Amino acid sequence: MPGSIPSFATSDAPAVVRDDRTTRWSGLARAARTGAGAVGLALTLTLVAVALLADVISPTDPFATVGRPLSAPTRAHVFGTDDLGRDVLSGIVHGARTSLIVTAGVTLLAALIGVAVGTAAGYKPGAVDDLLMRGTDFVLVVPRFFMAVVVIALFGPGLDRLILVLGLTSWPAIARVVRAQTLSLAHQAFVDAAHALGASGVRIALRHVLPHTLPAALVIISINAAGVILLEAALGFLGLGDPRLISWGYLASNAQRFIRIAWWMALFPGLAIALAVLGLNLLGDAVNDLLEPRARGAAGA
Amino acid sequence: MTAQYLLRRLIQVLPVAAGIVLILFVLVHTAPGDPVLALAGEHGDAAYYAFMRHRFGLDRPLPEQLAVYVGRVVRGDLGLSYVHGRPVARVIAERVPATLLLTGTALALSSLAGVALGVWAACRRDRSVDLTVRAGALVAHALPPFWLAQVAAITLALGTGLFPVQGLTDARQALTGWRYLVDVVHHLALPVLVLAAGELALMTRLTRTGLLEALRMDYAQTARAKGLSERRVVYHALRNALLPLVTVVGGRAGMMCTGAVLVETVFAWPGVGQLMLSSIQTRDIPVLLGIFLLVSVTVVVVNLVTDLTYAWLDPLVRYE
C-alpha cells in the first residue's frame, strides 16, 4: 500500500549524494573530457611517463660531458649544454624523476595525514574536532619553505628528510576540505540508514563517509602537489637539493651563474616546471568544476 | 569589534609562538652533532664554544636548556653569526627594509591590479577579455618565481637594457636626493613585477569568482529590478565579493616571503632572501634559524591583523 511510506522518505532523499560506488571515480574521466581537463591530464601523465622512463628517453647520462661547454641549442643537443658540456635535455628528463619522487612522497604523506585528521575532526565534533583543528591551524602557520631550509641546513641534503618535512607541513589544507565534506555528509540519509542498521561509527566513517569526501580531497591534493613541485624546485634553486641527483631546481640554480651568456640553461628547466605545475592545476580545476558546476571555470585557488 | 574579542585573539597567538620556538629547539637538539654547532657555527674555537654553551645553557639539563633558550629568543637573542661576527638579530634587521620595500610594493600592485582585472573579466564573462585574463592567470600562477625572474632578467634587463640586471642602486655612481629615489625605483621595477605576477594571478581569479557569485545573489537582482545601472550593481556586489580576499591576502604571507627569497636571489636584491642564500652557502645556521623565526612571526602577526580587519569589516563575524 503506497500510502504507508512516509512522504519525507521519498521526497527529501538527498539528490546530490548517492552511495553509488560506480559513479564515484567516473568524475576523473568526465573531467578529462573538458578541454582544460584533457590538457591537465595529458601534462600530468607526460610528467609521470617521462619520470618513469627517464633512462630510456634521456639522450645521454645527465652527469656526463657530451659536448662543448655552454653551446647553444643544436640538433645534437636540442636544449643546449651547460658549463660542463652536459646535455640540458637529459638533465630535464632525469630532473622529472627527482621531482616526481619528492612530489609523490610528499603528496602521499600529506594526503594520509590530511584525510585522517579531516575525517576524524568532521566525524567527531566537540573536543576531538577542536583539538585537531587547533593543530591544523598551527601547522598552517608554519612557513614550510623556511622550515625545509632549516631542516636541510641542520641535517644535510637528502630526499628522505625533504619528503618528511614537506609532507608533515603540507596536509592542513587537505584536512580542512575533508573535514568540511565530512561535516556536510554526517547527517545524510544513507549515514542515518547505516546507523539504523547497526554499523559502528568507525565503519560508517571509513566505508560510507570517507569515499564521498575523496573527489573534493582529490582537487585540493592535486593543487597541493603542484605547490610541492614549485617548493622542491625552489629548494634546489637555493642549492639545497640532493647533490647526487639532477633536479629542475639544480639546473635553474646552475643557470643563474651563466645567465648573461647561456639563456637556454635557464629557459628550458623552468619551462618543464611550469608545464608540470600547470598540468596538476588544470586537472584539479577540471575536477572542481565537475563538483561545483555553479562556479564553472572559476575554481578556487 | 569588542575588546574581549581582541584580547582573546591576542592570547591565541601565544601557544602558536611557543610551538614555533619549540620546533626550533627540537630541531637544533636532534640535528647530528653538538647543538652548540647550530648556534655558534662550525669554525669556532674551544673557548668560544664554551662561552656559547654557557650563554644558551647547553651545559645544564634539557628542560632547563629549553627555558634558557625560550628566554633568549623572547629577548631577541638568536645567537651570533660567525660569518658576520655580530648578533643574528641585528644582521637580519639590516636586511628587513629592502625586503619590506619589495614585498610591500608587490602586494599593493598585485592587489590593485588583480581586483581591476578580476572585475573587468567578470563584467565581460566568457568574452575574449575574460578568457584571456583567465588563461593568463592560470599560466602566471604556475610559473616558478625564480624562472620568471630569470626570463625577465634575460629579456627585459640584458636584452633591451631598459632595466638594471641586479642590485638596489647603481654601484657606479653615488646618487643623492630624488635621483637616488629614481634609481631605486628603476632597480625595484623588475623584481616587483615578477613577485607581483603570481599574486596577481590569484587575486584576479578570486575577484572574478567572488564577483560573479555576488552578482547572482538576491540583493543584486533586487538592485537591478529597482532600475540601478549595472555599474552601480557591480559596485554593490564588489564590496561583498572583496571581503574574503582580505583573508586570502593575509594567508599568503608565507608564500610571499618564499617568492621574495627567490626573486631577491636572481636580482641580487640586498634583502633577507639574499642573506638567506649566502647563509645557506656559508652554513651560517644561526642566521637561518633567525630567518625562520622572523618569517613565522610575520605570518602569525599578518594572520592576526587579517582576522581583526575581517571582524572590523564584516558585521556578521561573531566575536565568540
Query: What is the C-alpha to C-alpha distance for residues B129 and B5, in angstroms, rounded to an integer?
Result: 43
Does the beta-carbon distance from A238 to B254 stay under 8 Å? no
**Which whole number is the average pLDDT over A284-296?**
72
Measured in angstroms, the CA of B109 and the nearest CA of chain A are apart by 19
- CA B142, B296, A111: angle at the middle one, nearest 5? 50
Which positions 221-240 of A are in contact with B (Cβ < 8 Å)? Answer: 226, 230-231, 233-234, 237-240
Q: What is the pLDDT of residue A116?
A: 94
| β-pair partners for B80 | B87
Q: What is the average pLDDT value for chain B, to the nearest integer?
A: 86
Q: What is the pLDDT of residue B5?
A: 80
pLDDT at A21 over 70: no
Query: What is the C-alpha to C-alpha distance for residues B13 and B25, in angstroms, rounded to an integer?
Result: 19
Nearest to B106 by CA among B208, B180, B191: B191
Measured in angstroms, the CA of A289 and the nearest CA of chain B are apart by 12
Task: Output A239 or B248, whichever has higher pLDDT.
Answer: A239
Task: Find the CATH number of the domain harbouring A86.
Answer: 1.10.3720.10
Task: Output DSSP code: residue B81.
Answer: E
Q: What is the pLDDT of residue A230?
A: 95
**Which whole number is the average pLDDT over B8-30?**
87
Task: Please count the structural domains in chain A.
Answer: 1
Q: Count of CB atoms within 10 A of residue B114's CB? A: 24
With respect to residue A37, please indicate whether it lies within any of the assigned structural domains: yes
Query: What is the C-alpha to C-alpha distance for residues B258 and B249, in angstroms, rounded to an integer?
Result: 15
With respect to residue A3, please indicate whether it lies within any of the assigned structural domains: no
With respect to residue A276, please indicate whether it lies within any of the assigned structural domains: yes
pLDDT at B95 over 80: yes
pLDDT at A12 over 70: no
Q: Chain B partners of A141 at a C-beta cutoff of 8 Å?
A: 16, 20, 296, 299-300, 303
* Closest residue to A255, CB basis, from B32, B145, B150: B150
With respect to residue A185, please indicate whether it lies within any of the assigned structural domains: yes
Q: Chain B partners of A271 at a C-beta cutoff of 8 Å?
A: 147
Domain that holds residue A186: 21-63+78-294
Query: What is the C-alpha to C-alpha distance for residues A118 and A133, in angstroms, rounded to an integer?
Result: 9
Chosen for mutation from B127, B258, B303 (greatest number of chain A CBs closer than 10 Å) is: B258
C-alpha distances in Å from residue A150, one per residue of A77, B35, B256, B279: 37, 14, 18, 11
Does the beta-carbon distance from B150 to A259 stay under 8 Å? yes
Question: What's the one-letter identity of residue B213?
Answer: E
Find the length of chain B. Answer: 320
Nearest to B292 by CA among B19, B40, B43: B19
Query: What is the C-alpha to C-alpha distance for residues A96 and B240, in angstroms, rounded to an integer?
Result: 43
Chain-centre distance of CA A91, in angstroms?
Answer: 23
Are B59 and B53 in contact by the 8 Å Cβ rule? The answer is yes
- CA A103, A165, A110: angle at the middle one, nearest 5? 55
Are B282 and B83 in contact by the 8 Å Cβ rule? The answer is yes
Q: What is the pLDDT of residue A299?
A: 38
CA pseudo-torsion sign A119, A122, A126, A131:
positive
Q: Chain B partners of A145 at a C-beta cutoff of 8 Å?
A: 254, 257-258, 261
Q: Chain A partners of B212 at a C-beta cutoff of 8 Å?
A: 298
Mean pLDDT lowest among A104-118, B36-50, B129-143:
B36-50
With respect to residue A11, please indicate whether it lies within any of the assigned structural domains: no
Query: What is the C-alpha to C-alpha distance for residues A189 and A200, in angstroms, rounded to an integer?
Result: 16
Cell of B78: 638568536
Q: Does B159 touch chain A (CB under 8 A)?
A: no
**Which whole number is the average pLDDT over B242-261?**
87
Which among A190-199, B35-44, B228-237, B261-270 has the top mean pLDDT?
A: B261-270
Which chain A residue has the Cα nearest residue B203? A301
Measured in angstroms, the CA of B177 and the nearest CA of chain A are apart by 32
pLDDT at B28 over 60: yes
Chosen for mutation from A99, A145, A267 (greatest number of chain B CBs closer than 10 Å) is: A145
pLDDT at A297 over 60: no
- pLDDT band at residue B318 under the 50/70/90 scheme: low
Measured in angstroms, the CA of A277 and the nearest CA of chain B are apart by 5
Measured in angstroms, the CA of A133 and the nearest CA of chain B are apart by 13
pLDDT digits (tens, 9 = 90+) for B57-78: 778 888 888 888 888 888 888 8
How many beta-carbon pairs below 8 A join chains A and B? 153
Only one residue has cell 632549516, namely: A150
Mean pLDDT lowest among A273-277, B130-134, B145-149, B200-204:
B130-134
pLDDT at A176 over 60: yes
Nearest to B141 by CA among A145, A288, A229, A168: A229
Cell of B295: 618569517
Query: What is the C-alpha to C-alpha distance for residues A61 and A54, in angstroms, rounded to an integer?
Result: 10
List, in order, residues 6 or more apart from A178 with CB less than 8 Å away.
A114, A115, A117, A118, A119, A122, A213, A216, A217
pLDDT at B30 over 60: yes
Q: What is the pLDDT of residue B316?
A: 66
For residue A76, the surrounding DSSP H or E stretch is none
Query: What is the C-alpha to C-alpha distance for residues B257 and B247, in angstroms, rounded to an integer?
Result: 17
Q: What is the ipTM of this complex?
A: 0.89
**Which whole number is the average pLDDT over B31-57?**
78
pLDDT digits (tens, 9 = 90+) for A48-101: 999 999 888 888 888 888 888 888 898 888 898 988 889 999 999 999 999 999
Only one residue has cell 608554519, namely: A142
Q: What is the average pLDDT value for chain A, to the nearest integer?
A: 84
Residue B310's Cβ-count burial label (10 Å; 0-12, 13-18, 19+) is middle
Number of H helices, E strands in chain B: 14, 2
Cell of B173: 655612481
Are A62 and A89 in contact by the 8 Å Cβ rule? The answer is no
Query: What is the C-alpha to C-alpha distance for residues B4 and B319, in angstroms, rounded to an integer?
Result: 8
Does the beta-carbon distance from B206 to A147 stay under 8 Å? no
Q: Does B104 touch chain A (CB under 8 A)?
A: no
pLDDT digits (tens, 9 = 90+) for A110-157: 999 999 999 999 888 889 999 999 999 999 989 999 999 999 999 999
Q: Does B160 touch chain A (CB under 8 A)?
A: no
CA pseudo-torsion sign A40, A41, A46, A49:
positive
C-alpha distances in Å from residue B47, one per residue of A296, B79, B257, B269: 66, 16, 37, 37
Nearest to B288 by CA among B266, B255, B261, B267: B261
Are A97 and A54 in contact by the 8 Å Cβ rule? The answer is yes
CB crowding A245-276: b at 16 or more within 10 Å, else e: bbbbbbbbbbbbebbeebbbbbbbbbbbbbeb
Mean pLDDT lowest among A114-128, A148-162, A169-183, B20-34:
B20-34
Measured in angstroms, the CA of B14 and the nearest CA of chain A are apart by 11
With respect to residue A91, please indicate whether it lies within any of the assigned structural domains: yes
CB crowding A4-13: b at 16 or more within 10 Å, else e: eeeeeeeeee
With respect to residue A36, please indicate whether it lies within any of the assigned structural domains: yes
Q: Chain A partners of B257 at a C-beta cutoff of 8 Å?
A: 143, 145-146
Which chain A residue has the Cα nearest residue B264? A238
* Closest residue to A297, CB basis, from B27, B134, B303: B134
Q: Does B23 touch chain A (CB under 8 A)?
A: yes
Chosen for mutation from B147, B151, B291 (greatest number of chain A CBs closer than 10 Å) is: B147
Mean pLDDT lowest among A5-9, B118-122, B194-198, B280-284:
A5-9
Cell of B74: 623572547
Task: Output DSSP code: residue A73.
Answer: P
pLDDT at A276 over 90: yes
List, in order, residues 6 or more apart from A232 with CB less than 8 Å away.
A98, A99, A102, A103, A162, A166, A241, A247, A248, A249
Nearest to B291 by CA among B307, B271, B320: B271
Please state, for a pLDDT cut of 90, what percent of chain B lies above it: 32
* Closest residue to A149, CB basis, from B141, B158, B288: B288
Are B165 and B157 in contact by the 8 Å Cβ rule? The answer is yes
Which chain A residue has the Cα nearest residue B285? A153
Instruction: Report the interhelical angle of B177-215 vs B253-267 (nearest 10°).
Output: 140
Which chain B residue has the Cα nearest residue A143? B254
Q: Does A155 touch chain B (CB under 8 A)?
A: yes
Mean pLDDT lowest among A131-145, B157-171, B255-269:
B157-171
Q: Does A251 touch chain B (CB under 8 A)?
A: no
Q: Does B32 touch chain A (CB under 8 A)?
A: yes
**Between β-strands B86-87 and B80-81, what pairing exists: parallel, antiparallel or unpaired?**
antiparallel
With respect to residue A167, please indicate whether it lies within any of the assigned structural domains: yes
Are A269 and A95 in contact by the 8 Å Cβ rule? The answer is yes
* Closest residue to B144, CB basis, from A145, A270, A300: A270
- pLDDT band at residue B196 under the 50/70/90 scheme: very high
Query: What is the C-alpha to C-alpha distance for residues A182 and B76, in angstroms, rounded to an integer?
Result: 43
